[in-house]
Amino acid sequence: MEDDALFIGDWSMKNVSNLARILCVFHAMSGLKVNFNKSRVFGVGVEFGEEKLKKAWKPIIDKTRSKLSVWKARTLSFSGNATLVKFVLRNLLTFYFSLFPAPIGIIEELEKIQRQFLWRSGLEKATMHWVAWDKLKAPKDVGGAGLDSLRNLNLALLAKWWWKCKEILNTIDGGLTWSSDFLVDGNFSVAKLRNRLDGASHPVSDGEYWWLNSVSKKVVSFIWRAKQGRIPSAEELAKRNIPVPSQMYGLCADTEESTSHILTSCSLAKDTINMVLSWCGIPTQSFVGVNEVLDFGRKWGHCPKKKEVLTSIIYRCLWSLWKTRNDRVFRGVASKPTNIVDSIKAIVFTWRKHRSQIGEKMEWDKWRVSLLNCK
């Protein structure tokens, strides 16, 4: 509004008192009175004592805890929890993070709430945290889950004030121009700086992962975990001292149940994968791990669109093999490779028809016979 005013100065009681006196003189001379009850004082980058800081941030901690309560997490999948963790907290904290530098203790408390919500753990019950927090915070382009670092978000938002001060100086100094790597169309980009900070502070050695938008988030999140061996197979549970009836895979009594065996090396997995490849018009292959299957899909052929289609099919294939394993273990229901492949064909067709840009042109009869020739 036109009658709003912003005063910027050093953080001190002397400055605040002098500003109040100036506004009183302004009232006496002009007849326009400033309502101090409607005025606000904000400290950008100001540090207080530790106890005052904790007290000041307590409403934010309480509001975050209410938004990410554990009972809500129990109704959602891992991917649903991850989405809420990322976007609810970002929207809630943006205002406060853009004005105040959050202490390390506050950042750690907020991240603790995030972790508890993501893995559905509470004060009364501890649950397994399958993936390291640093990997979850790391950007997707370096192999992380892209949940973002709260510390880096705080720094990036505060840096925008630095840029605004430079713009004011530009105007005072007669239009001098400043250059920066974090400009987008001439405006300072908080997201660009945050991405740079995330990339520098969270290097991940597991390699890039393809987060396909045409695939269900539940499935694409599961494959990301399986790629790292972070799913509850008997082998992984035993490593974490979780009692299991047997570490042997039910279909292969002499082989330990590992992520690689369930999804690539078991006879059921081999037959299912090769039937899928045959449907795609690709010669049969032999894989020894999840990473090898994923690399095959990304490097196959020369057409980017067909690579994306094949990779989405591989994702669903691995998810179906895991679901088949759970049905056998917990429900005593066994599935044949032909039934699994028929399910993969139908579900991936539905995904692509409703999620991809070419969906309206797809025909089921062509898809189920020769999918990679579908336009």
The Cα–Cα gap between 302 and 324 comes to: 32
pLDDT value of residue 177: 63
Residue 269 three-state SS:
helix
Q: Which residues lie below 8 Å from residue 42, measured CB to CB, with a gap of 6+?
A: 99
> Is the separation of the CB atoms in 256 and 246 below 8 Å?
no
Hey, what are 127's tokens?
Answer: 């649950």
For the entire predicted model, the pTM comes to: 0.78
What's the CA angle centered on 94, arms 56 and 178, to 5 degrees?
115
Residue 120, number of CB atoms within 10 A of its CB: 18
The Cα–Cα gap between 318 and 276 comes to: 11
Between 242 and 355, residue with greater pLDDT: 242
Mean pLDDT of 289-302: 89
pLDDT tens string 78-100 = 888 888 888 777 778 888 888 88
Q: Which of 27-36, 247-256, 316-325 has the highest mean pLDDT?
A: 316-325
Look at the block and give the residue holding tokens 């898809």. Answer: 367
Hey, what are 169's tokens?
Answer: 């100086």
The Cα–Cα gap between 234 and 318 comes to: 17
Residues found in the chain: 375
Hey, what are 259's tokens?
Answer: 């992520």
pLDDT value of residue 375: 44
With a cut of 60, say whether residue 50 has pLDDT above it: no
Mean pLDDT of 295-324: 90
Element (H, E) at 152: helix 150-172
pLDDT value of residue 226: 93
Residue 98, number of CB atoms within 10 A of its CB: 18
The Cα–Cα gap between 277 and 273 comes to: 6
What's the CA angle centered on 80, arms 75 and 96, to 5 degrees?
110
Helix residue ranges per DSSP H, 98-189: 104-118, 133-137, 150-172
With a cut of 60, say whether residue 358 has pLDDT above it: no
If pLDDT is split at 50, 70 and 90, which confidence band does 374 have? very low
The Cα–Cα gap between 373 and 375 comes to: 6
Q: What percent of the chain has pLDDT over 70?
A: 83
Q: Which residues lie below 8 Å from residue 24, measured CB to CB, with a gap of 6+?
A: none
What's the CA angle centered on 64, arms 60 and 66, to 5 degrees?
120
If pLDDT is split at 50, 70 and 90, which confidence band does 304 have? confident
The Cα–Cα gap between 238 and 133 comes to: 21
Hey, what are 212's tokens?
Answer: 């396909």
